[in-house]
A and B are shown apart, each in its own frame.
Chain A
Amino acid sequence: MSVKTLKIDGIDIAIEEGATVLDAARQAGVPIPTLCHLDGVGDIGACRLCLVEVGGSRRLLPACVTEVAEGMEVQTNTPKLQEYRRMTVELLFSEGNHVCAVCVANGHCELQDVAIQVGMDHSRFTYRFPDRGVDVSHEQFGIDHNRCILCTRCVRVCDEIEGAHVWDVAQRGAACYIVSGLNQPWGEVDACTSCGKCVDACPTGAIFRKGSTTGEKERDRAKLDFLVTAREKHEWTR
C-alpha cells in the first residue's frame, strides 16, 4: 500500500492511499463537522457539512467521500465554507421541530453540537413546524419524525451491520420520511431484532429509548417525606 502526502489547512499529512480527506483531517486534528458520516457504515455524502475546498477543483468536495491524492491542498474552514455550513444547519433547524429544551437528546445531540460548532444561534429561514408524526408502537423504542434530519444513519446501520434492513426512505423532497418495514408501525415489523443499533446511530433525538423522554420523567415526591420520617422516627421501611 502506498502513502499519499497532502496539506490540510497548511498542515502536512502523510496517510495511506484510499483514505478519505476526512480521515486525514482527523489524523491531523483538524475538526470538520459531519452529520451523515458514521464510523463503521458506508458514506453517502448527503449532509454536505463536511464540504471542503480543494486546490484545482472548482467544486466544493465532501471530505467524507473524497479520497486523498498526492499533493492535494485542502482548506477546511474558509469564510465561504463557514457561511455555507451555518446555512446548512439553519436549513435543518427550520425543517424540523428541534426544541432542545424538551428533547431526549439535549446535551448529547450531534445536531446541537454542530450548531454550536458552526455558531448557529438562530435560523434566518422560516420555521416550518412540520407534523410528521411519532411512532411509539415498538416495545422498547420510539421514533419522532419531527426530529429526524434524514441522515439515513439508522437505515445504513440496520442494513449494513444488523442485516435487518428495517428502515428506508419513503417519498421524495420535502415529503421524505424514514419508513419502517413495508410502511408499517415499527412495532409490527418482524425483521426488527430490537438490537437498538439505530438508537445508538441516530445523531438527534429522533430515535430514542422509551422511558428517557422528558414527558416520561417520573417524580417521587413521597421520597422526601420518607427521608424525614426515617431520620426523625427511625422508620426505615416504606
Chain B
Amino acid sequence: MDLTELIDVAEAHRAKQKNIRIHCCTSTGCRAASALEVLKNLKTAVEDEALGENVEVVGVGCMGFCGRGPLVQIDPDDALYEEVKPEEAASIIGSLKGGTATALKGDVQHPFFARQVKIVRQHSGKVDPESIEDYIAAGGYRSLYKAIYELSPPEVVDEITRSGLRGRGGGGYPTGLKWATVAKMPGDQKYVICNGDEGDPGAFMDRSVLESDPHLVLEGMAIAGYAIGANHGFIYVRAEYPLAIQRLQKAIQQAKKYGLLGSQIFESPFDFKVDIRIGAGAFVCGEETALIQSIEGGRGNPRPRPPYPAQAGLWKCPTLINNVETFANISAIIREGADWYAGIGTEKSKGTKIFALTGKIRNNGLIEVPMGITLREIVEEMGGGVPDGEVKAVQTGGPSGGCIPASLLDTPVDYDSLVAIGSMMGSGGMVVMDQDTNMVEVAQFYMEFCRGETCGKCIPCRTGTVQLYALLTKLLKRQATQADLDKLEALCHMVQETSLCGLGMSAPNPILSTLRYFNQEYTELLQAPKYLNGKVAVE
C-alpha cells in the first residue's frame, strides 16, 4: 500500500458511510448491560422503518459513561441515550422520523463530557473497532506514513521528546528519553513491548482503549519500531480481557492484509510485526522486568534494575516498553506536531490522562482530561460530587497510590503534584470516598490486594505485606496498642525502602497516606495500654 491507496481506502469508505450513523457501544461495560441486544434491535428497526438508505447502525467502542450503559449516540446531531433497554431501541430509530424516543436522554453539554479533551480517545465511540477501514477513514495510519516517509528515526524520537509526553503506566518516565536510549543502544535486534497488563483494581482505561481503538495502539507501536530500529513488537494483554484480545487479533490481521504491519510497510524497507502475548492474571506481571520474563516463558518475577530493559530486555536485547495509553498518544503527536501537544497540560506534565472515575460519585466512567485540571473540577464538576454526602478523600494510583483528603482537592492533577502530596498518578484509577468511609479499612483493602499479589521473591514485600495486613487487622479489631502503630509505620518505611521492585516499594503508600491525613482514625482504634510504668493500668 502507498499513500494514494491509503487515501483511496479512506475516501471509498467515507463514501460508503451513511449520513446518519447510530453509534452503539459494544465494549465490555455496555455489553454486560445487554448492549448487543440493543445493537441488534437498532439494526432491525432501521430495516423495519426502511431507513437503510440514509442511516446505519455501527457497533463502536467505549464512550466513557460506563456507569450509564448501554449508550447509544446519534451522529451528527450528537443526541445521547443512556441505559437504553433493548425494547427502547425501536423508539430511538423512530425519533429520526419525528417520533419520540422513550429512552433516557443524556446531557452532552454536561461537564462530564464538555470538560474532556480527547486525544487518546479521539475515535473511541466513533469508529467501529473491528473495521480498519473505519479507522483509515478517520485519518488512521497517516501518522505512520508521515513518520516513515517524512521523518528520519531520530526526528521521530525528537518529536516525541519535544512533545513532553511521559509514560502513562504510572511512573511518568519521559517517553522521548526512553526511546532515545533504546535507539542509541548498539545491537541489530531490538523489540517494542506494549504493556496492557492493567492490574490495578478498578482500572479499565487500557482495556477501553484496546477494545475501542486497537489500530491506534498498533500504529503507535509501529512508529516506535521505526524510531528505535525494532522490527518486532509484542503486546501483552491480560487474559481477563478477552474482547480486547479478540479485537487486537482482528486488527493485526487486517493491518497485515493492507501491508500496514508485516514486511515492507508502505512499500518501504521498514518491517514491523506484532504478536500478542496473554498474561495469566498476575498484577506483578505488569512490572516491566517481570513482564519480559513472562514473555520469555519464565516465571513472572521482577529482577533488579539496572540493567534496564532499554539496555537488556527481551532475550537480553534492547527493548522499549511503554503502556497502552502512551502508545495511543503517538499518532496524534506525529500528526499534529510536538508543539501542539506540548501546548496541552502543565509545564512538566503534558497532554491528557484518562481516569476511571468510580466510587461514591454521581457520574462514573472514563474521562480524558488535560493535565493540570484540579481534583475538585474532576470530582465536583465532572463527577457531580457525592450523592447525598460530602467527599472525604480521593484515592489515586490504586494499590501503589494514596488517599488525598478533601482539603487538598484543589491540587492540580499532574505527576509531580500528586507525588508531593503522598499519592501518585498511577495508571488512572480514581476512587471517590464519602464521609462514611473508614480509612483504615481502605488501607487494609489495598494491603490485602498487595499481600495476595506479591511475587514472593524478596523478603520485605513477601513477608512485610503479610505483617502489615495483620497489624491493620489487629487495629480494626481494637486489639492494637501504640507500640503496634509505631511498628506499623516503621515497617511501612522498611518495605518501601528495601523491596526489590515497584510493587513492594509502593505497597505501603495507602497506609502511609492515610496515616498522614487521617491519623486520628488510627489512634481512635487504639486500645489503652494494659501496663503502664510496670504496673497494671487497666483491669
Interface residues of A (CB under 8 A from B): 44-48, 51, 59-60, 62, 65, 83-84, 87-88, 91-92, 94-95, 124-126, 128, 149-150, 168-169, 171-176
Contacts and interface: CB of A to CB of B under 8 A. Distances in A.
Nearest to B469: A174
B491 A87 contact: yes
18 contacts: A44-B303, A46-B457, A48-B458, A60-B498, A62-B304, A62-B500, A87-B494, A95-B463, A125-B491, A150-B456, A150-B457, A150-B462, A172-B453, A173-B455, A173-B462, A174-B451, A174-B454, A174-B463
A91 B467 contact: yes
Contact of B282 (A84, A172, A175): A172
Nearest to B467: A125
A48 B470 contact: no
Most buried by B among A83, A91, A175: A91
Contacts of B529: none
Contacts of A124: 487
B460 A48 contact: yes
B467 A176 contact: no
Contacts of A94: 463, 467
A204 to B, nearest CB: 13
Given A60-B497, A87-B491, A124-B487, A46 B459 contact: yes
**What range describes how many residues of B lie at the interface?**
20 to 34
B505 to A, nearest CB: 8
B423 interface: no
B452 interface: yes
Interface in B100-146: none
B518 to A, nearest CB: 24
A176 B456 contact: yes
A94 to B, nearest CB: 7
Nearest 5 pairs of A and B residues by beta carbon: A176-B456, A45-B304, A91-B463, A173-B454, A48-B498
B184 interface: no
B362 to A, nearest CB: 37
B474 to A, nearest CB: 8
A91 B464 contact: yes
B465 A51 contact: no
Contact of B500 (A45, A83, A169): A45
Contact of A169 (B456, B460, B487, B491): B456
Contacts of A83: 490, 494
A145 B315 CA distance: 33
B284 interface: yes
Given A48-B459, A172-B455, 20 more contacts: A45-B303, A45-B304, A45-B458, A46-B459, A51-B498, A59-B497, A87-B460, A88-B459, A95-B466, A126-B470, A168-B299, A169-B456, A169-B457, A172-B453, A172-B456, A173-B451, A173-B453, A174-B463, A175-B456, A176-B456
A125 to B, nearest CB: 5
Given A124-B487, A174-B456, A92 B463 contact: yes
